[in-house]
Structure 1
Amino acid sequence: MMRVVVIDDEPLSRRGVIARLKREPDVEVVGEAADGASGLAVIERLQPDLIFIDIAMPGLDGMSAVAALPVERRPLVVFVSAHDQFAVRAFEVRALDYLLKPIDGDRFAESVARARAAAAQSTSPAQVKPPLTRFPIRVGSREEVVSADDIHWIEADGDYATLHAGARQYLLREPIRKLVDQLDPAQFVRIHRSTIVRVSQVAEVQSLTNRDATLRLADGTMLRVSRTYTQALKDALFRWGRG
């Protein structure tokens, strides 16, 4: 059971996160707080595995509260904010994820799944499945193996996913919502409810006025980036650049 504390000065937002977490069978919300100082006290007392914490709060803000926690005793951290300008700082304090308000259901589910994987890795590394590196594809009467290294982007097709590898396309019998958790997060990032891209193939990102964006791959392919995934894309590109 993953023990979680939720810290947010907005009662409605706090209750919303707690309600989402209560739908998860392996998650227990053990505490909550309405500001950074109280949040630190709750964390110290309860020692949770994971915290969801707002950034802009009166008094001690969420970023400063997390930075005040000793690294060796710091729980997994998911920042929740209405603003995207703190994302780089969030990465610097080793946050697991950064969610923008209003929270998208798919992105929230991804954060919880990421927390599960991180918690499992810290307690039992041998049980964590390595990311997919090859995909068996049925082509007529034969089976062809496609390397993950050859894939530029992936799009949803109902309960299937279409793998785009250069000029070739392959239909994989796997829904994108499951596939995203099996890919290497250092190599692939979800940019839309129905689209995953290989980070190394991103050539240009252009922001739009509605906080969505358009993305151009190295081969010229143009894709839409949903506002709920723009920050995840920025974080992935930042980590790729650092790497």
Structure 2
Amino acid sequence: MPDNAPLRTLIVDDEPLAIERMQILCAEQEGITLVGTAADGAAALRMIESLGPDLVLLDIAMPELDGMAVAKTLGRQSGSSSPAIIFVTAFDSFAIEAFDLAAVDYLLKPVSADRLRRAVDRVAERRRIPSAEATAPEPVDEFWVPHRSELVRIAANDIERIDAERDYMRLHLGQRSYLLHQTIGALEARLDPTRFIRLHRSVIVRKDRIARLGHDKAGAWHAELVDGDQVRIGRTYLAHVKAMAGR
């Protein structure tokens, strides 16, 4: 896209009034051309594939495939043609996860024209700055983890489960565990997605450690691991987990 070309933008929100308001705001902005709207995550992915927008203004709370699941799907397909994502939501509790997913910005509803302008300028600036190769990084084979006065080599494929503990990640290997100072989003990006899956904002497990998936009467899903532990599946990760199971 030329530096001065408008950002071809897709709005994704399940509330018609929210879409209408965002359309009005976008019409007032220079540097934006609307290419369409979508009312759910599945439709958004289809439109992104067919229209190839530069920017997606993405709601989080949507039925079935929500905004986080859409962003994760796009992340697994990352490349030079992937759109920039600005989350637009009424919830402030997903900001850390959103930036872990490389969102350009995180806007809280109701969005002001000035706040949208700054977010769009940020997208345009990133487009102007030459980037490194946009291919997904190769998964790492090992981690060197401090333990007492040593550094311990841990093979990535030996890790069975990862639990977030504030600023540290606890890597579980059978009866042993080690602490690594890293965010869970950064650690997830270094793991092989064919072998590991995130179940919750604070839990990653190796896929072959999952014995079964289930839900309670209220519809809350969990994963039962081979050691008998149950891990609650976060709402934003449920679609991805079901996709792993072919559902």
Fold-level similarity (TM above 0.5): yes
Instruction: Assess, with a 3 A threshold, how the Cα gap between structure 1 residues 11 and 224 changes in structure 2: closer, same or farther.
Output: same
Q: Does residue 62 of the first structure (1) align with residue 47 of the second (2)? A: no
TM-score by length of 2: 0.58
**1:151 aligned onto 2:159:** yes
User: Structure 1 residues 140, 112: closer, same or farther in 2, change over 3 A?
Assistant: closer
Whether the aligned pair in 1 keeps the contact of 2:13 and 2:62 (CA below 8 Å) is: no
User: One-letter code of the match for 1:54?
Assistant: A
The CA deviation at 1:126 is: 7.4
In the TM superposition, residue 218 of structure 1 has moved relative to its aligned partner by 2.1
Question: Quick check: 2:144–2:153 contact (8 Å CA) kept in 1?
Answer: yes
Select 1:198's aligned residue among 206, 209, 212: 206
Match of 2:32 in 1: 30
Partner of 2:11: 6
Q: Indicate the residue corresponding to 2:229 in structure 1.
A: 221
Q: Which residue of structure 2 lines up, in the alignment, with residue 233 of structure 1? A: 241
- Equivalent residue number for residue 82 of structure 2: none
Structure 1 runs (4+) greater than 6 angstroms displaced? 15-18, 76-81
- Which moves more between the two structures, 104-113 or 207-216? 104-113
- Aligned AA (1:142): E
Say if 1:55 and 1:169 are closer, same or farther in 2 by CA, change over 3 A.
same
Distance 1:5 1:81 in 2: 17
**Runs of 5+ consecutive residues of structure 2 not aligned to the other structure:** 24-29, 76-86, 105-122
- Cα deviation, residue 12, structure 1: 5.3
1:135 matches 2:116: no
Aligned residue number for residue 115 of structure 2: none
TM-score by length of 1: 0.59
Tell me the C-alpha RMSD between the 2 structures: 4.5
Classify the secondary structure of the residue corresponding to 2:36. Answer: helix
Query: Distance between the aligned counterparts of 2:168 and 2:153, measured in 1?
Result: 17
TM-superposed CA distance for 1:96, in Å, is 2.3
| Structure 1 partner of 2:111 | none
Q: List runs of 5+ in structure 1 lacking aligned partners.
A: 19-27, 33-37, 41-52
Is the partner of 2:246 in helix, strand or coil?
helix
- The Cα of 1:224 is off from its aligned counterpart by 1.6
**Counterparts of 1:236 and 1:79, CA distance in 2:** 24
1:83 maps onto 2:85 in alignment: no
Q: Deviations over 1:125-182 (max 9, x none)?
A: 4775322321111222221111110111100111111001122211112132332233
How many angstroms apart in 1 are the aligned matches of 2:44 and 2:135? Answer: 32
Query: Counterparts of 2:180 and 2:193 in 1: how far apart (Å)?
Result: 19
Q: Residue type of the partner of 1:82?
A: M
Distance in 2 (CA, whole Å) between partners of 1:208 and 1:80 is: 24
1:163 aligns with 2:171: yes
What amino acid maps onto 2:201 in structure 1? R
Distance 1:163 1:11, change over 3 A: same
SS of 2:163 mapped into structure 1: strand
Which residue identity is paired with 2:204?
A: I
Distance 1:17 1:191, change over 3 A: farther
Structure 2 CA distance, aligned partners of 1:233 and 1:154? 16
CA distance in 2, matches of 1:29, 1:237: 42
Q: Which residue of 1 aligns with 2:113?
A: none
The answer as to whether partners of 1:54 and 1:79 remain within 8 angstroms in 2 is: no
Identity among equivalent pairs (%): 28
1:32-91 CA distance string (max 9 Å, x none):
4xxxxx618xxxxxxxxxxxx4339xxxx936963982xxx645888967332x79xx99
